Amino acid sequence: MFNLLLQFATHINISAEAVAVLSKHPNIIGMKDSSGNIPQLAQFQRVIDPQEFHLMVGTASAWYPALDMGIQGAIMALANCLPAECVAIQKLYEENKKEEAKALHERVFPVNHAVTATYGVAGLKYACDLLGFRGGFVRRPLLDLKDEQKKDIEEILKTANVL
């Protein structure tokens, strides 16, 4: 979680050398990397002992490549609005149905981009509301979506065949 907190809150990225040191600390059992930087994720993998330290991906945009790299866990915003699809991707991949997993990942990828990079928390909450989950309202200083942005999210969900 250390990488996520540093990068999200400060936009400072943690180095592989720091990960190597932190991975040996007795009170740290893992890390979620939300950078989406696959080469960096590979560097992190090289400096940890996967039996002792759990490396997870923190963005669905890097998820399928991370699965191919042997990453076994993820904590992603996408799972809040498309939990069944996220579970399906993981199961398909684990069942060695990689083409099906990849196709589903590619289908929901635009949803992930919308609820993270494009519209953020407000977009995620609205997508959750549309899909039958309780997204609720955004807290200040965040702003609600405008009507045009809501229509964009609805179209993205329809195109992904989830709405």
Edge-first strand order for the sheet with 30-33 is 30-33, 54-57, 73-74
Q: Is the pLDDT of residue 8 over 50?
A: no
Catalytic residue among 24, 32, 98, 150: 32
Phi, psi of 22 (to 5 degrees): -65, -30
Mean pLDDT for the stretch of residues 106-133: 96
Residue 150 bears catalytic tag:
no
Q: Which of 160, 77, 149 shows the shortest CA–CA distance to 112?
A: 77
Mean pLDDT for the stretch of residues 124-153: 96
